[in-house]
Amino acid sequence: MNEPVEPSPGSPQCLNCGTTLFGQYCGNCGQRASSRLISIWELLRDAFGDLLDLDSRLWLTLKPLLIRPGRLTLDYLQGKRARYMPPFRMYLVLSVVFFVVAFFDPQEDLGLLFEPEPAATPEAQHTDEEKQEALAEAQRRLDELAEQGVITPKQAEAAKKKDVDVRFGIDDEDEDGGFNFKMDEETGKCTLTGSENMPPWLQRRLTKERLEKTCERIGADEGKTLGRLMLDNIPVALIVLLPLMAFVLKALYPLSRRYFVEHLLFFIHFHSFFFLLLTLQILFSRLANSAGIPQGLSITVLVAASFYVPVYLYKAMRLVYLQGHLLTMMKFMALAVAYFAGLTLTMIGALLFAVVAV
């Protein structure tokens, strides 16, 4: 029988937690027994070590996440956790990578490093005077046709209104009194009709004046600010969606004896897989365009990857909740409907917050 190792009188203590050290690493907190200053190489190794080390927890996590539906969730619930990245950390990492790959535009976000594009030549620009002259000429022709009896006066007026809408992008008021914005192209002023049809609680928060001002600010930069705010709100909306879907799983599996956080874990892993697959699809699409891969083959691969998402969710439900094909298929369909409804509501919420914040 081995005797327990006793620390020598001169054994150092851990600089992090004060525990007496028996070797190179602290047995209590795991910190390395070194008091010297770290080098730049060690900083880089700590930052990118998981990416470069094929045996790291990152790569050991991504493989089952991508090709073994439900395995990460089941292993985590069975206590096999040390080999994998923590679930929520993995979700955050993959979501950040996805949004960077999908929406980062060096030309726009690092515009200081690029020369601005040359302005359009005056010949390519259509002035308001030219539009007005073309509109007046078209209306004169319609009046002549009406006078000759080719078309009726009512048809001529309708054609004039349609021509104005096409040339200037102006939406006429809805005859049925629906919710509608009308923008004056010259002044940039917005007029709202139909706001009284909104629910009272929404009218108190989104007043007619507030919506008209928001419309004017959106039109001032052609909706770029609204799009940026909407993009900023999407990650928060997806995080809000996680507990909503966990409640749906809780309702679908009332006899599973699983806690709410276990259902939440299932969707954290599913969303992590979804972010990973979308990132790979985007990278493959860009690589296919650069490498000259036939478009038909590229589209086939992307479509097949998209069909893999529902298959993945179904197989994950089968593995984690251990129910038969028929029951799982019925619950899968109910979950899909609930997911679509929840995603729609959270995206509408993200849009409303973006509109209010413009």
List pLDDT tens digits, range 212-227. 677 767 666 666 777 7
The pLDDT value given to residue 74:
92
Instruction: Report d(CA 123, CA 111) in Å as an integer.
Output: 27
Instruction: Report d(CA 150, CA 132) in Å as an integer.
Output: 25
Between 115 and 65, name the one with better pLDDT.
65
Mean pLDDT over residues 137-152, rounded? 70
Residues contacting 174, CB < 8 A, separation 6+:
180, 193, 194
Polymer length of the chain: 358
pLDDT in tens, 194-210: 666 666 766 666 676 77
Mean pLDDT over residues 235-241, rounded? 88
Mean pLDDT over residues 254-279, rounded? 91
Q: What is the pTM of this model?
A: 0.65
Say yes or no to pLDDT of 12 above 80. no
Between the ranges 211-220, 229-238, 252-261, where is the mean pLDDT highest? Answer: 252-261
Mean pLDDT over residues 221-240, rounded? 78
Taken in order 101, 103, 105, 109, is the CA torsion positive or negative? Answer: negative
Give the number of other CB atoms < 10 A from CB of residue 53: 12
| Contact call for residues 66 and 276 (beta carbons, < 8 A) | yes
Q: What is the mean pLDDT of the chain?
A: 75
The pLDDT value given to residue 222:
66
**Cα pseudo-dihedral 240, 245, 246, 249, rounded to 10:** 170
Phi/psi of residue 25, nearest 5 degrees: -125, 150
* 3-class secondary structure, 20: strand
The confidence band for 251, taking pLDDT boundaries of 50, 70 and 90, is: very high
Give the number of other CB atoms < 10 A from CB of residue 78: 8
The pLDDT value given to residue 165:
54
Say yes or no to pLDDT of 173 above 50. no
Between 155 and 80, name the one with better pLDDT.
80
**Alpha-carbon 150 to chain mean position:** 54
**Cα pseudo-dihedral 125, 131, 137, 139, rounded to 10:** 150
Instruction: Report d(CA 195, CA 68) in Å as an integer.
Output: 50
Phi-psi region of 114 (alpha: psi -120 to 50; beta: other; left: phi over 0): beta
Instruction: Report d(CA 60, CA 84) in Å as an integer.
Output: 6
| Contact call for residues 236 and 350 (beta carbons, < 8 A) | yes
- Long-range residue pairs from 100-106, CB within 8 A, at least 24 positions apart, any chain: 101/279, 101/282, 101/283, 102/278, 102/279, 102/282, 103/231
* 3-class secondary structure, 52: helix
